[in-house]
Amino acid sequence: MNGATLIMKKRLLFLLVAFSIFILGLLFRVGWLQMVRGAELQEMAFQQQNSNREITPKRGTVYDRNGNKLAVSSSVERVAVNPQDLPKDEKEREYIAEKLALILEMDKEDVLNRMNKNNRYQEIKRHVSKEIGNQVRQFRSENNIKGIYIDEDSKRVYPNNNLSAHVLGFVGYDNQGLDGIERMMDKYLKGVPGKILSEVDARGRQTPFYEEKRIEPQEGLDVVLTIDKDIQYIATRELERAIDDNKVLKGGTVVIMDPRNGDILAMVSKPDFNPNTPRACPPGEDPDMWDGTTNEDIEKLQETVWRNRALVDTYEPGSTFKAVTVAAGLEEGIISLDDHT
């Protein structure tokens, strides 16, 4: 009897110890998840339950010294879809892709491939006009289609076309500065994106009756240059005239500086480009063979029209260096202002 009781007590003790270890392990695991990975898991849960659509902020305006606008941002729209919310029927999807392709002037297969992505938010086309956006809205409404979004977007516009192209530079498809002032001052010009938050279920479909939350974007800061638009125009005109009169093949450059303070009033480099279409076919290239996005084409653009000769090319100082020689002679007392040759 005593032996059986002892065995029973040992078994109970073993079970108690095992249970205690299990509870301690469980508590440790819960504590580790909360303390160490709590923020990470909370963010993951938020991402699974919510879908974010970005609102592109307007880049700041670039002005010349007199307040003339050299680079501005216009309000346009972006068309996107939530593939999880679109109809699952293949024929319905093809119909939607066909209509969107017609409105957006895109290839149907390209639109269909984007619609079939396994994403909650898939961009179809950016920088579409308000008129085109309204056509998409009408199509969506008439066919009662869920999962098609028409969101705010921003497009960079250079109202003076080629004027000051090398000074201003240009932006990419995502409105990020890639060259010139646009690149140098990008952190000030770009602004902070906003968001449209919507709740989704486990399959990524938008939850019915959920009111979207909107976080407004912050517009970028404005930048004022020392460039004078009128002087820039005159310098451009005269450089073009000099190139034509002298039959110059490799282009040229003009820099005009205010001698009182060193402000750059004009900086012109030829050949140039239109920053509204920076990847357009440059002179001397076959338009039928031009793509504008390949590495080879980008290198050609960098060596020709994108090249700011005023900054990257080297020139012999010539007679301009005589002033340095005279200044050195005056400083050392070798010559005086009364000396003549």
- The radius of gyration computed from the CA coordinates of the chain, to the nearest angstrom, equals 32
Query: What is the total residue count of the chain?
Result: 341
Cβ neighbours around 327 below 10 Å, total = 10
d(CA 280, CA 327): 47
Q: Which two tokens stand for residue 277?
A: 């279409």
E strand spans, the chain:
50-55, 62-63, 69-81, 122-128, 148-157, 170-171, 177-179, 194-199, 213-215, 223-224, 252-257, 264-270
d(CA 317, CA 222): 36
Report the amino acid identity of residue 233.
Answer: Y
Q: Residues near 60 by Cβ (< 8 Å), separated by ≥ 6?
A: 188, 189, 191, 219, 220, 221, 222, 223
Spot the catalytic one: 20, 154, 319, 336: 319
Residue 281 near residue 290 (C-beta atoms within 8 A): yes
C-alpha count within 13 angstroms, C-beta hemisphere, residue 338: 0
Is residue 319 among the annotated active site residues? yes
Active site residues: 319
